């Protein structure tokens, strides 16, 4: 039995693409996923399954296409991969920076192209780490945030609509939910 985090892009944002989490949990349970939980209303879903990841991705793609066609990008992360990522984070990730975000790679994304594009950016008061699951992006100063490549360039990148972003606090919460098993308090 493997524990997964399913991170969905662009739901319940600004009154658009509304999904009721209780209904989504029921629907995913109906797909055969077990111990389905959600965290906040922005597409952080956790479950356990014995199915291989590739089979789950296919099943979720079909499910979203039929029931929620506005969901076109998602990340499916196993607990094992997440913990491996945690063990390989740079020292700066644990420091108190102005802002920290993770740009999670989604299923089917051309990761090499995304990395090449981001590597070409001129950074201003920001640091990057290219992880297995996404790009970890730290902004060093709130005063210079509006000058950073993250702020000025990211939204204009062709891949932007195919990634899903979580802040450092949510990244830590995801880890907690992945470790949670049914019956835990």
- Reported as type and span, the H/E element at residue 119 is helix 111-119
- What pLDDT is stored for residue 173 in this prediction? 95
pTM flag (> 0.85): yes
pLDDT for 46-77, tens place per residue? Answer: 999 999 999 999 999 999 999 998 888 999 99
Q: Which residues 6+ apart lie within 8 Å of 10 measured at CB? A: 16, 17, 43, 70, 71, 73, 164
Residue 72: per-residue pLDDT: 86
- The closest alpha carbon to 38, from 52, 50, 49, 26, belongs to 26
Beta strands (DSSP E) in 20-140 are 34-39, 44-49, 74-78, 99-105, 126-130, 134-139
pLDDT at 49: 97
Query: What confidence category does residue 185 fall into, taking pLDDT thresholds of 50, 70 and 90?
Result: very low
User: How confident is the model at residue 16, as a pLDDT?
Assistant: 74
pLDDT in tens, 156-183: 999 998 999 999 999 999 999 999 765 4
The confidence score (pLDDT) of residue 183 equals: 41
Average pLDDT over residues 86-90: 96
pLDDT exceeds 70 at position 98: yes
Residue 123 has pLDDT above 50, yes or no: yes
3-state secondary structure at position 118: helix
Q: For the chain, what percent of residues have pLDDT higher than 90?
A: 83
pLDDT at 78 over 80: yes
* pLDDT of amino acid 181: 60
pLDDT of residue 19: 81
């Amino acid at each position: 039995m493997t524990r997964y985090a399913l991170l969905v892009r662009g739901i319940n944002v600004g009154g658009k693409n509304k999904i009721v989490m209780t209904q989504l949990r029921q629907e995913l349970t109906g797909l055969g996923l077990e111990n389905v939980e959600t965290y906040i209303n922005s597409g952080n879903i956790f479950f356990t399954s014995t199915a291989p990841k590739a089979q789950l991705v296919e099943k979720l793609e079909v499910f979203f296409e039929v029931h929620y066609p506005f969901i076109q990008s998602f990340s499916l992360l196993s607990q094992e991969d997440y913990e491996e990522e945690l063990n390989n984070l740079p020292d700066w990730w644990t420091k108190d920076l102005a802002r920290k975000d993770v740009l999670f790679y989604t299923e089917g994304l051309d990761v090499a192209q995304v990395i090449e594009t981001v590597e070409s950016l001129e950074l201003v008061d920001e640091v990057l780490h290219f992880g297995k699951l996404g790009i970890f992006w730290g902004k060093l100063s709130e005063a210079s945030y509006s000058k950073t490549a993250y702020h000025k360039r990211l939204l204009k990148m062709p891949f932007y609509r195919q990634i899903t972003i979580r802040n450092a606090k949510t990244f830590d919460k995801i880890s907690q939910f992945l470790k949670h098993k049914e019956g835990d308090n």
